[in-house]
Structure 1
Amino acid sequence: MTPGENSPSTPEDDDPFGYLYADGQARGAQPPSGGYGYPNSVSRVRSVGERTYGGQQAQSGVPQQQGTYGQPNAHYQAPETLPGGAPTSRQPAQTPARGGPNTKGLLIGAIAVVAAVVIGISIAMLNDNGDDNKSGNQAGASPTQSQTSKPSPSGSGSAAPGELPKTDASALQLGPGVTKASDIKGAKAQGGTYVTGFNHVGATVTWTINDLEKAGSYRLYVRYGIPGVDANATLVVNNKVDPRPMSMKNFGGGTPAGDWEKGWKTTWSNVNLNKGANTIQIACNDGNQCNANLDQLWLVKG
Structure 2
Amino acid sequence: MTSGNNGATTPEDDDPFGYLYADGQANGAQPPSGGYGYPGSVNRVRAVGQRQYGQQAPTAAYGQVPQQQGTYGQPSAHYAAPETHPGGATTAQQQPAYSGGNGSGGRGGPNTKGLLIGAIAVVAAVVIGISVAMLGGDGEKDDAGGDTGSTPSQSESAESRPSASSSAGAGAADLPAVDAKALRLEGGAATASDVKGAESEGGVYVQGFNQVGAKVTWTVNGIDKGRDYRLYVRYDIPGVDANATLTVNGKTSTQPLSMKNFAGSPKGDWEKGWQTTWGLVSLNKGTNTIELSCGAGNQCDAYLDQFYLAENADQ
Q: TM-score, normalised by structure 1?
A: 0.49
Larger radius of gyration: 1
